[in-house]
Structure 1
Amino acid sequence: MTPRIIPTLWYAEKAEEAAAFYASLLPKSHVDSVRALPADSPSGPAGSVKIVEFTLLGQPFMAFNAGPFEPFNHAVSFQIECDDQAEIDRLWDALGDGGIYEPCGWLKDRYGLSWQIAPKALGEMMKDADPARAKRVAEAMLTMKKLDLAALQRAYDGA
């Protein structure tokens, strides 16, 4: 068997709600199971810790609803590459609702998890062999909160 990496998220509370919310926004996404930890743990007595297995865009995840030991921070985020501005707008609005919108396409959702909502084309623009093009795109991105694909394309084109 080939090993797998399964990102695991520790929520103070509402892990099941967060997983269902994320799964409602993305294709090939669903909550797979929710169960209680059947043993006492540092987070609480048997049955108090919830374990949520879910899938986002075909990638398995796990979440624990286990108390406020370690809050999320920017050291870990999830980037969603979007094909067009409509998808950027939809995910930006949905994931950011009740959270905090941040610079450069970043946001913190209502559960405290950091996301980057970015056009798929951004990566290619930033890797362009022409350093002037890549620089213009980077400089344009650094002025934005929600990323604007048309504005990034104009910067890339030198318009």
Structure 2
Amino acid sequence: MPKVVPCMWFNGDAEEAAKLYTALVPNSAITHVQRNVSDGPSGKEGSVLVVEFTVAGQPLVALNGGMKMEYTHAISLMIHCDDQTQVDSVWNAFLAHGGKEEQCGWLRDRWGVAWQVVPKVMFEFLSSPDRAAAARAMQAMMKMVKLDVDALRRAFEGKSAA
């Protein structure tokens, strides 16, 4: 059965990015490094061409494509966190390594890759049959930068912020 594996484009620092991602997110590892077999647009013979790795168990590929490409919000990588401790840990680790905060649980790493750091409970809130509660959670999320599980829960439950 074919498998879809996202391939991320870098300009000479694919291995550095893969090492950072696998260090920041639990259940992650580099699984293979492919080197260039000759000089070419992607680098000198022996330099890193492709890095295969997993982030939180999700297979990814980092490619040294030979030129700088810009990432957009059109695609992002979402990390489902078990609780606020995981949200804080992953969020703070990205920021400590050159990341920049955005809105609604989004941040960009130092290469410009968009990441969403989302507590799993957010999906429960948004899929609730209580549409008013789901809407309150969504409205609360829209006002946040890093997502706050307690504040989202209070909004979902219709409790005022204390």
Q: TM exceeds 0.5?
A: yes
The equivalent of 2:104 in structure 1 is 104
How far off its partner does 1:42 sit? Answer: 4.3
1:26 pairs with 2:25 = yes
SS of the aligned residue for 1:16 comes to helix
Going from structure 1 to structure 2, the CA distance change for 1:13 and 1:59 (only over 3 Å counts) comes to: same
Separation in 2, partners of 1:42, 1:50: 10
Separation in 1, partners of 2:34, 2:118: 33
Separation in 1, partners of 2:153, 2:86: 16
Aligned-pair Cα RMSD in Å: 1.7
- Deviation track 1:1-27 (CA, whole Å, cap 9, x = no partner) reads x11111110012311011111111223
SS of the aligned residue for 2:104 comes to helix
- Deviation track 1:57-86 (CA, whole Å, cap 9, x = no partner) reads 222211112233421111111111111111
Letter matched to residue 107 of structure 1: L
The equivalent of 2:123 in structure 1 is 123
Contact 1:49 1:66 (8 Å CA) reproduced: no
Contact 2:41 2:66 (8 Å CA) reproduced: no
The equivalent of 1:54 in structure 2 is 53
SS of the aligned residue for 2:27 comes to coil
The equivalent of 2:137 in structure 1 is 137
Q: Which runs of 5+ in 2 are unaligned?
A: none
The equivalent of 1:68 in structure 2 is 67
Contact 2:76 2:116 (8 Å CA) reproduced: yes
Q: Which runs of 5+ in 1 are unaligned?
A: none
Separation in 2, partners of 1:113, 1:33: 21
* Alignment length (residue pairs): 158
TM-score by length of 1: 0.90
- Deviation track 1:120-140 (CA, whole Å, cap 9, x = no partner) reads 000110111122111101110
SS of the aligned residue for 1:75 comes to coil
SS of the aligned residue for 1:107 comes to strand
TM-score by length of 2: 0.89
Letter matched to residue 100 of structure 2: I
Identify which range, 59-68 or 47-56, moves more after superposition: 47-56
Going from structure 1 to structure 2, the CA distance change for 1:43 and 1:13 (only over 3 Å counts) comes to: closer
Letter matched to residue 148 of structure 2: D
Separation in 2, partners of 1:58, 1:81: 12
